[in-house]
Amino acid sequence: MVGSANLALNRPATGSTACNASEGPERAVNGSVSGGNGDKFCTLAASKWLQVDLGSSQAIGRFVIRHAGAGGESTDWNTRAYTIRVSGDGSTWTTVASVNDNTASITSHDIASVTARHVRLDIVTPAQDGNPAARIYEFEVHAAAGDVNLALQQPATGSNACGSAEGPAKAVNGSVSGGNSDKFCTLAATKWLQVDLGASRSIKRFVLRHAGAGGESTGWNTRAYGIGVSGDGATWAPVVEMNDNTASVTSHDILPVSGRYVRLDIVTPTQNGDPAARIYEFEVY
């Protein structure tokens, strides 16, 4: 999790045949994306995969993948579809994440804690534009420990709620299990949600739980939004911009930034034109 060690860092890595000798699997676990376009694992094999041996069984809670755009290459080469699997023995595998429509340069996947020694990335669609090469700059595996949601139960404000039971406080109550009303819902023309963390904090990650995370239609998952951070609640620094989300849970790792206030501005509330924004949880780490 944020602040936890990357368990895959410099661990033994294997994979499908590399594009060339300088772009082997070890480049995806060297902790660097700054060595130029060659500082990646690249493969053109028909079956594209990357596997890491963590050395011993570890409690895993999150994966971070840095795709072509994170290394300065075209975002058209960001991995489109892939799965992540884990294993105790390197033989029997369990799928823990599956993505079919990624466009982002950095993807982060929080999972329920699972214990495993081996992790594997299977690449189904390597790029956005039909390019046949898969490019993975880093494949990070993080321990299931150490996160604190700084927004939990903190004072929250927002645009007018759909109903009195669906106010901003529902997005910071730590729950998505209270039924369809366990969310912040707004139909306002300008849709926003703001949280006061109580003091200036070092912030590294945001997690948003949209309609699908609360059991509602995924057609109502937030499509486009931005996240800003402020020290005084007046001057804002944008840190996240999302224009084409479809997922029920989104996670955004950022370079560390200090702020007391965080704000979610919702641009396109759904996939299908429904005018209501639905945020089950807005988490800050």
Q: Which domains does the chain have, with CATH numbers?
A: 13-143 (2.60.120.260), 156-284 (2.60.120.260)
Q: Is the pLDDT of residue 141 over 70?
A: yes
- Other CB atoms within 10 Å distance of the CB of residue 155: 13
pLDDT mean over 131-144:
93
Q: For the purposes of burial, counting CB atoms within 10 Å of the CB of 230, is it exposed (0-12), middle (13-18) or buried (19 or more)?
A: middle
pTM over 0.85: no
pLDDT at 139 over 80: yes
Whether 210 and 250 have beta carbons less than 8 Å apart is answered as: yes
- Can you name the residues that pair with 62 across neighbouring β-strands? 110, 142
> What is the Cα–Cα distance from 59 to 115, expressed in whole angstroms?
4
In this model, does residue 41 exceed pLDDT 70? Answer: yes
Neighbours of 208 (CB within 10 A): 26
Instruction: Tell me the backbone φ, ψ of residue 143, rounded to 5 degrees.
Output: -70, 155
Q: What integer pLDDT is reported at residue 1 of this predicted model?
A: 36
User: Residues of the chain with pLDDT > 70: what percent?
Assistant: 97
Of 116-125, 128-137, 183-192, 244-253, which gets the smallest average pLDDT?
244-253
Quote the pLDDT of residue 147: 61
Per DSSP, the residues of the chain read -TTS-BTTTT--EEESPBSSGGG-GGGGGSS-S-S-TTSSEEE--SSEEEEEEEEEEEEEEEEEEE-GGGGTS-GGGS--EEEEEEESSSSS-EEEEEESS---SEEEEEEEEEEEEEEEEEEEE--SS----EEESEEEEEES-----TTTT--EEESPBSSTTSSGGGGGSS-S-S-TTSSEEE--SSEEEEEEEEEEEEEEEEEEE-GGGGTS-GGGS--EEEEEEESSSSS-EEEEEESS---SEEEEEEEEEEEEEEEEEEEE--SS----EEESEEEE-
pLDDT grade, residue 145 (50/70/90)? low
Q: Distance between CA 245 and CA 268 in Å, rounded?
A: 10
**In the predicted model, what is the mean pLDDT of residues 134-155?**
86
119 versus 142: which is more confidently predicted?
119
pLDDT in tens, 253-285: 898 899 999 999 999 999 999 999 999 999 998
The predicted structure's pLDDT at residue 49: 98
Average pLDDT value for the chain:
92
Percentage of the chain lying above the pLDDT 90 cut: 76
Answer whether residue 46 shows pLDDT above 90.
yes
Encoding tokens for residue 46? 């028909």
- Encode pLDDT of 75-105 as tens digits: 999 999 999 999 999 999 999 999 999 999 9
Closest CA to 205 of 121, 143, 148: 148
